[in-house]
Amino acid sequence: MNAPQRATSEEAAAAKGMPNASRKYEPYPMVGLSDRTWPSKRIEKAPIWCSVDLRDGNQALIDPMGHDRKARMFHLLLDMGFREIEVGFPSASQTDFDFARWCIEEGNIPGNVDLQVLVQCRPELITRTFEALEGAQTPIVHFYNSTSELQRRVVFEKDVAGIKQIATDAAKMIADMAAKAGGGYRFQYSPESFTGTELEVALEICNAVAEIIKPTPQNRLIINLPSTVEMSTPNIYADRIEWMCRQLDNRDRLIVSLHPHNDRGTGIAATELGLMAGADRVEGTLFGNGERTGNVDIVTLALNMYTQGVDPELDCSDIQRMRDVYEYSNQLKIAERHPYVGELVYTAFSGSHQDAINKGMKAIKVANKQLWEVPYLPIDPADVGRSYEAIIRINSQSGKGGIAYVLQADYGLNLPRNLQIEFSRDIQSITDAEGKEVPAKRIHDRFLDVYVEQPQGRLKFVDHQTYPDTGRKGLRIVEAKILDGGVEVTISGSGTGPIDGFVDALSRHIGVPLSVFDYSEHSIQRGSNAAAISYMEVEHPGGRIFGAGINTNIVAASLEAVVSAANRILQ
């Protein structure tokens, strides 16, 4: 009775988990390139950028873009400085056809911008594509067919010669149609699924296409080597690019282009290494929209270059607009942690990060140099139009430095160090109790509540006057009006100055000996209504405690600060 039951549970256990990896998947082949040069290179100039948002990005959307969404993206791409923009696949849909016509007829395309369109190596589609391009200035006809071993076998059921024939037939047709149209065309060929294609096969087909197109150094053929599906570590992609760059015929008549996707999450790395390996051009999309996990993110690539001191030749200074257009046109959301643009990427919650950022920012101000060096911030948020305001946000992971930064940056309050320590305990008890972020305004309100306004405070400063203490040389009498529980009382004391005399008067009134341990003040507003804030660290038999006062009169601000400390002692 028991045996069959045990077998069943063993089967169930065996069915759990992922299938055996080595039986299900094969490692990607290495490239025999022992003298590779790319590892010791660096990216020193921007590549030719081509945006494929309106084509590869668009073909991956739940609801492809209509005219308005395409036009808004197109204008952004022009404003950012793209010189090559793939506007669609005009033979695939009327929307794409009409959009290409609109770009040509009404798009006000600057003279240095070339439109690019994609087409499969199929005669009827090529004919339609040329119709879509009539009247365009130096458009790029981008034709492709898959050359991968797997697709040759299971999709096209053709050998290498057959697949090469698809490409060369299309190349002939395109070259003829362009010549008949009077020239002025540029050409791009993609051995689609290059990453699934044996290098020798990709090379043979690309060379055969180039032989037909007959590129010149003035009108170079773009050979686009896509990682249609990202299948390997980025170093292998780079090896393949270096291998192709070395082997392709007439390299000086070619522009070698990368078109990475991001299936393994290493599209950026693959592109960067591919550029080091000799590529001249990159196709990608803003923030990486595109098939499956997306195309490579051009904005991240550009800003990676920028933060290495290389001009990316793309204007990313208004990243919020770029984000808005991305979200409108693609109807997708940007993740909070997305490089350079995510909601949280210029934010630090943890105390030690906040402290270091705060100190880094101060050091930059003091040094008065342009060079950016702030810990934890690889880019100055202002360079992409983001503000410092969001750099530091407060939750239970934050420390005194963050709270001090927020009060300083947003409200101009420079809390002395001991007050930072004292007040951060108060805020920490709130963040711990609520388990949530505390916004800057609430921190400021809490500061005013605890130290300045003190709605529950027993005492309130009203007014004061001083006159010489005739009995004791060098001392002054201070006579002050205060409210105690709402009742006005006059208190008096004597000291070396108004603060000293007031502390004496108040000590007598509340019956607790007080003395000033430390004191600082600064102005918090400019102009005629300038106010000052005074921070008073007061010693009493139980320890030390802070008070603060804000007043247009600096002496009054200090006396208010003493009252504030006294109220906190009485509490």
Ligand X SMILES: CC(=O)SCCNC(=O)CCNC(=O)[C@H](O)C(C)(C)COP(=O)(O)OP(=O)(O)OC[C@H]1O[C@@H](n2cnc3c(N)ncnc32)[C@H](O)[C@@H]1OP(=O)(O)O
User: How many whole angstroms separate alpha carbon 81 and alpha carbon 317?
Assistant: 12
Would you give the binding string for ligand X spanning residues 122-151, x where CB under 6 A is met?
x---------------------xxx-----
Closest to ligand X by CB, 83 or 122: 122
Amino acid at the residue 25: Y
Closest to ligand X by CB, 156 or 519: 156
Closest to ligand X by CB, 164 or 509: 164
User: How many whole angstroms separate alpha carbon 523 and alpha carbon 417?
Assistant: 18
Closest to Mg ion by CB, 56 or 280: 56
User: How many whole angstroms separate alpha carbon 449 and alpha carbon 453?
Assistant: 5
Report the nearest approach of ligand KIV to the CB of residue 120 (Å): 9
Report the nearest approach of ligand KIV to the CB of residue 77 (Å): 17
User: How many whole angstroms separate alpha carbon 68 and alpha carbon 359?
Assistant: 46
By the rule CB under 5 A, 283 interacts with Mg ion: no
By the rule CB under 5 A, 204 interacts with Mg ion: no
Number of H helices, E strands in the chain: 19, 14
Q: What is the 3-state secondary structure (H, E, C) of 267-335?
A: HHHHHHHHHHCCCCEEEEEHHHCCCCCCECEHHHHHHHHHCCCCCCCCCCCCHHHHHHHHHHHHCCCCC
Phi, psi (5° rounding) for residue 99?
Answer: -70, -40
Would you give the binding string for ligand KIV spanning residues 249-268, x where CB under 6 A is met?
----------x-x-------
Would you give the binding string for ligand X spanning residues 160-199, x where CB under 6 A is met?
------x-------------------------x-------
By the rule CB under 6 A, 118 interacts with ligand KIV: yes
By the rule CB under 6 A, 535 interacts with ligand KIV: no
Would you give the binding string for Mg ion spanning residues 50-79, x where CB under 5 A is met?
------x-----------------------
Please check whether residue 169 is in contact with residue 176, taking contact to mean a CB–CB distance below 8 angstroms. no
Please check whether residue 494 is in contact with residue 501, taking contact to mean a CB–CB distance below 8 angstroms. yes
> Which segment (167-175, 223-231, 356-364, 423-431) binds ligand KIV by CB under 6 A?
223-231
Q: How far is CA 107 from the centre of its chain?
A: 30
In terms of Cα–Cα distance, which of 100, 108, 86 is closest to 128? Answer: 100
259 is in an annotated binding site: yes
User: How many whole angstroms separate alpha carbon 319 and alpha carbon 325?
Assistant: 10
By the rule CB under 6 A, 120 interacts with ligand X: yes
User: How many whole angstroms separate alpha carbon 403 and alpha carbon 439?
Assistant: 10
Q: Which of residues 284-313 bind ligand X (CB under 6 A)?
A: 291
Report the nearest approach of Mg ion to the CB of residue 386 (Å): 30
Report the nearest approach of ligand KIV to the CB of residue 230 (Å): 10
Report the nearest approach of ligand KIV to the CB of residue 115 (Å): 16
Residue 156 CB burial class (10 angstroms; 0-12, 13-18, ≥19)? middle
Closest to ligand X by CB, 169 or 383: 169
Query: Which residue from 41, 61, 72, 156 is in contact with ligand X, where contact means CB under 6 A?
Result: 156
Closest to ligand X by CB, 56 or 537: 56
Please check whether residue 33 is in contact with residue 53, taking contact to mean a CB–CB distance below 8 angstroms. no
User: How many whole angstroms separate alpha carbon 563 and alpha carbon 456?
Assistant: 13
CA angle 132, 137, 142 (to 5 degrees): 55
Footprint of ligand X on this chain (CB under 6 A)? Answer: 56, 59, 89, 92, 120-122, 144-146, 155-156, 166, 192, 228, 291
Annotated binding site for Mg(2+): 56, 259, 261, 295
Footprint of ligand KIV on this chain (CB under 6 A)? Answer: 56, 118, 144, 190, 192, 224, 226, 228, 259, 261
